[in-house]
Amino acid sequence: MGLFLRDLPPFMRRFGQDAAVSLFEDYIREALGYEKPPVWTAKLVETVFKARGFMIRHLFLPRFREIDALAKAEGGSDRLQRKVYAFEPWYVKWTLWNWLSALVSTSGKVLPGKKYKSEGYLVEELGPAEYEIISKEKVLSEANQLKIYGSQGGSVGLGCPFKFKV
């Protein structure tokens, strides 16, 4: 929750938390240990979403192109990069536009660059930084085993290892 509320001014964080918690199902809210938000907060959030839906449905033009915030490999490289700064600066391709939009939206707190690996990532490098290099071979080995397993038909071709009696 702190990650989502970090950009709000301190005096608005309680309201932000109540608004977010009002979107949870009761059993999830209780499992996470949050108190039930005030009724007026839940009604306000519901009204805002209904108003937003109405505006998007009736007042906005359709998009001319899709917005794709997922990481993709480009330029013959296997490294995955995100094209646009969406929420976090990690793995966002460094462009002047991305840098300026992050500067404006975060007041310069977090900007795409070397510190946030703007050159992209390989899947086998994901995880804690201290394991990035030392676990790379093991992850690649397991990935190759999974490829072989999949090429042989996976659980369909080899039979499911989890058998039970009916």
The whole model's pTM is what? 0.48
Residue 153 φ/ψ region, left for φ over 0, alpha for ψ in the -120 to 50 degree band, beta for the rest: left
What pLDDT, on the 0 to 100 scale, is given for residue 54? 95
Would you call 9 helix, strand, or coil by DSSP? coil
Q: Determine the Cα–Cα distance for residues 85 and 105; give it in Å rounded to an integer.
A: 10
- Residues 124, 156: Cα–Cα separation, whole Å: 26
Rg (C-alpha) for the chain, rounded Å, is 22
- What number of other Cβ atoms are within 10 A of residue 136's Cβ? 14
pLDDT by residue (tens digit) across 37-71?
999 999 999 999 999 999 999 999 887 777 666 67
